[in-house]
Structure formats: C-alpha cells, structure tokens
Amino acid sequence: MNLKELQNGSDIRGVALDLNPEEPVNLTDKEVRALARAFTAWLRKRTGKTDMTIAVGRDSRLSGPALAHAVMDGLVYDGVDVFDTGLSTTPAMFMSTIFDDFDADGAIMLTASHMPANRNGMKFFYKGGGLDSNEIAQVIDIAEREAFNHKPGGSITKSDLMSVYAEHLRNIIREKVDQEAVNPDLPLEELHVVVDAGNGAGGFFVDQVLKPLGANTEGSQFLDPDGHFPNHIPNPENPEAMASLVKAVKDNHADLGIIFDTDVDRSSAVDGNGNPIGRNDIVALASVLAARHHPGMTVVTDSVTSDELGEFLEKHNIHHHRFKRGYKNVINEAKRLNDEGVDAELAIETSGHAAFRENYYLDDGAYLASRIVVEAASHSISDLIASLGHPKAEKELRLKINEKAFKEYGRQVIEDLKAYAAQESSTITLVQPNYEGVRLKFGTDHGDGWALLRMSLHENLLPLNIESKQTEGAKIMARELLEFLEQYPSLDLHQIREFIEE
C-alpha cells in the first residue's frame, strides 16, 4: 500500500469506485482498515488509554457503507468499542467526543466532501479536535509499518448520533434567538427557510432542527441522501449549486436559503431577495455575528479575501488577520492567536468553512447555519452586510506547472515575482504582512486592485487571484503579470491569455 499518496492535507482522500477509467481505485477496504487500526494505535499512544471507544460515520457516498464496515472491522479486531453512527455529518463526529451520551475517545468520518461520486476519504478526530497534516502523516507511518495494537474484545453498537446532535443545534437556536421578538415555544414559526442539502448528509437540518422549532421549510430540495449526486455538486462554492438555491428561494418567496456541502462542515446562504451570501459575504456575515458580544475581536481568514472585506471589518471594529488557504491552517492560526491573548473568535474560509471559538473551533456548517437562522428570525441578514463593497472585476486563474519538481519551480516563480515587485522601477508593490505566496497591489493607472499568486495546497498549480475596482482592471493587471510570467517555459499560461482576450 502506498498510503502517502492518499494524504490530502489533514484528510485522507482517494478513488473508491471504478467509475472513471482515467482514475484507478486506490482507496479500498484494505487501505481504510489499515488506517483505522493505525489511528487506534496513534490514539492509544496519545491518551495512554488501552480501552478505546471510537465513533464511525459516513456521508451519502455509494462507497460509504462498505468502507465503514471495513473500518469497524479493523477497530473491533484491535479491541475497540465502536459506535456505528451510520449516515452522519463531519461536525457531529467530532461532537461524539464531547456529548455525554457518547464520550468517544475518537471518531472517524468517511467523506470526500464535494468531490465526485467515485471518491471517498477519511477524517479523524479526538477530544482535542481534528488531526492536522503532521498527525495524519504519523497515522500513515504507523499503517505502513503495520505497528498496530491487536487486542481482543471489541464491539459494535448502532448509535443515533444525529438525533443528539440535532437536539444540540435546537438548543443553541432557542438560547440565542431574540425571545422578546418570537414565540419561545416555536421560535422560528415566522421564518420560511429553504434548505439545499445537495443529496448529502444535511437533510436532517430540515426535519430535526428547523421543523421542530416551527419553521416553514417548503421548497427545500435535494434532502434525500444519494451518492450519485444527481442534481448538482454538493458544494456552496459551485455556481450551479448556488443558482439552484437562489431559484428555490425566489420561487417559494422564502426569507432565507441555506446550502450545505456533502458532509456539512461548510455552508453558505441566500437572503430573502435571492442574493447569494458566499465567499467574502459569508465571511462578513459570520464575523458580524461573532463580534456581537466580542467587540474588537479578530477574525482569521484565508488568503483570497478582498480588500473590500478588510475595509468592512475595520468599520465594524473587527480586526482582519488574513492568513493562508486550508481550513486547518486558518483554525490553527486562530488557536495560536487565542493562546497569545488575542480575542480570535472566528476562523473562516471563503469556501464556507467557519469555526467559532465558542463552538470548539469546529468548522461546522450546521452551526453557522443555526447562527444565521437565529438572526433571520427577527432581523434582516442583508442589512448586516449592506455596506460591504465588492470589486468591479475578479478572476481566478489556475496556472499549471509542467515540472516533476513542481513545488520547487512554483516557489521560485513566487520569489522572483517578489523581487520584481520590490524594484524601484516596478509599477506594483508588495502587500505586507502576507503569509502565503505573493500579494501585490496595483495602482490606479495599472488596474487599481490586487493579485495573489500562490502554490496550490495539493496540485501542480499556481492559482492566481485578481480583483479590481475598475471594470477592465483585472485584465490590465493580468496583462502586466503575463509579461513577467512568460519567462517561465514550464508554466501553462493559456488561461491568463484567454482571459485577456475575452
């Protein structure tokens, strides 16, 4: 087994079904069983405990049941008492280590988020949170060395985790909703919410959270789990998925729309006028909600957030700490700042990963949705972010690196661009502080905006994000960057050329 190729940052991801001849299967019962046993050994070493309870759940993927069975088989063989939670969400799996009803030592979630139907993966949790990339590497090393801890006596108990988790969310909504403005028994009875679960694991939010609190959920769609994902990609960042929710909100004259990804660790929204609230908008909305009882707080975001977002947050007495891509990077940075005494209440990516300090710094799409629902029950969520500006032009271009040592090549391009921008004769300037790639500012006569060139977290790509305050500014900036980038023969520049010629 070549397990290292399955590591995707802080996750395990691979091809689990033979649906695409160009993508051979590399995540089978054998791999997940070995990784589950390795996680047990890792957890025993970390906690010093021999007797273990581990919860196992899955999203709606077609390969989920078989892989979950293999995981549980490996755990039981090593003497673990297993909670089989069935169809679950990723945040609920972490909460199995918190809830008194479970008090699990660890949890394993089988999911590949919004990836195609042939993919699957694993996420691991313990009471301290999700494993980071270094800890995943440790688990892989244990699996490859087969340094397992066989111990007889394991068991499997079928467990309804999602009912406990749904009750947890209902309690949060009841606690936070404006009791003077609503019926305390049915605090959402005046609210019409349309939910799009994308045939993932998020359908529970309608039947187990919203309806019991009195909400009208007519028009909610794609709630039934279906690993074929027949309607659209279950991804709040996908334009077709968001457009589908916008239409549902408008058609049903709803007050609010909520959309989840497959495993519900991400969400975004649509307001009652049919305006999407994603990317910088969802960051702004979540930040204002978090800052309500924490004035002067810090929000940690990924690197592609806009200048307009920074200006908005500053006006709301919120410090913006722009960091790196990768939800674990953002969360870990917020934890680090918090340990240093900074009131970092929120870590959030434009992708919809949002981790509130008060919620264990857990990136939980249903928790974010609950916070938004609470606000929408008595106020307009649109009003909260009405002053957020938006660029006149924006574009993300993905420049492929045709080199085996692509990371070294990409880093050299970035360093060269930094040096170019630092020259006195350059028409662009470096933005500091900056924690990922190179961020550049372009003056009014050169596009009036910013660009970020960075290494992809996992692929042989240099993503290039461009935003401008001018309608044609993004193309002006792209043209200037193209002149610099043409000196690198291993960079595929066709996307930037096509954008300029549009």
Domains and CATH numbers, the chain: 3-159 (3.40.120.10), 165-384 (3.40.120.10), 393-501 (3.30.310.50)
Active site residue 378: no
Q: Which of 232, 290, 3 is nearest to 136 (CA)?
A: 3
Q: Which residue has the tokens 């492929």?
A: 400
Please say if the pLDDT value at position 179 is more than 80.
Answer: no
Using CA atoms, how far apart are residues 243 and 240, in angstroms rounded to an integer?
5
**Lowest mean pLDDT segment, chosen from 192-206, 381-395, 419-433:** 419-433
Using CA atoms, how far apart are residues 172 and 222, in angstroms rounded to an integer?
25
- Give tens-digit pLDDT for 22-80: 999 999 999 999 999 999 999 999 999 999 999 999 999 999 999 999 999 999 999 99
Please say if the pLDDT value at position 465 is more than 80.
Answer: yes
In this prediction, residues 323-341 reach a mean pLDDT of 95
In this prediction, residues 407-423 reach a mean pLDDT of 96
Give the pLDDT score at 152: 92
Please say if the pLDDT value at position 183 is more than 90.
Answer: no
Using CA atoms, how far apart are residues 491 and 494, in angstroms rounded to an integer?
9
Please say if the pLDDT value at position 181 is more than 80.
Answer: no
Give the pLDDT score at 2: 85
Name the phi and psi angles at 39, rounded to 5: -65, -40
In this prediction, residues 440-469 reach a mean pLDDT of 94
pLDDT band of residue 381 (cuts 50, 70, 90) is: very high
pLDDT band of residue 185 (cuts 50, 70, 90) is: confident
Partnered with residue 221 across adjacent β-strands are: 196
Catalytic residue among 60, 88, 96, 113: 113
Q: What is the DSSP letter of 212?
A: G
Please say if the pLDDT value at position 178 is more than 90.
Answer: no
Distance of CA 31 to the CA centre of its chain: 25
Give the pLDDT score at 361: 97
Using CA atoms, how far apart are residues 436 and 359, in angstroms rounded to an integer?
27
Q: Model-level pTM? A: 0.95
- Give tens-digit pLDDT for 136-147: 999 999 999 999
In this prediction, residues 200-229 reach a mean pLDDT of 98
pLDDT band of residue 327 (cuts 50, 70, 90) is: very high
Q: Which of 468, 425, 416, 423 is nearest to 445 (CA)?
A: 468
Residue 173 to residues 168, 215, 279, 369, Cα–Cα distance (Å):
9, 12, 24, 10
Please say if the pLDDT value at position 192 is more than 90.
Answer: yes
Give the pLDDT score at 101: 95
pLDDT band of residue 457 (cuts 50, 70, 90) is: confident
Q: Which stretch of DSSP H or E encloses residue 475?
A: helix 473-485
Partnered with residue 82 across adjacent β-strands are: 54, 156
pLDDT band of residue 184 (cuts 50, 70, 90) is: confident
In this prediction, residues 293-303 reach a mean pLDDT of 97
In this prediction, residues 428-455 reach a mean pLDDT of 96
- The alpha carbon dihedral of 238, 241, 243, 246 has a sign of negative
In this prediction, residues 102-127 reach a mean pLDDT of 96
Please say if the pLDDT value at position 459 is more than 90.
Answer: no
Q: Which stretch of DSSP H or E encloses residue 415?
A: helix 406-422
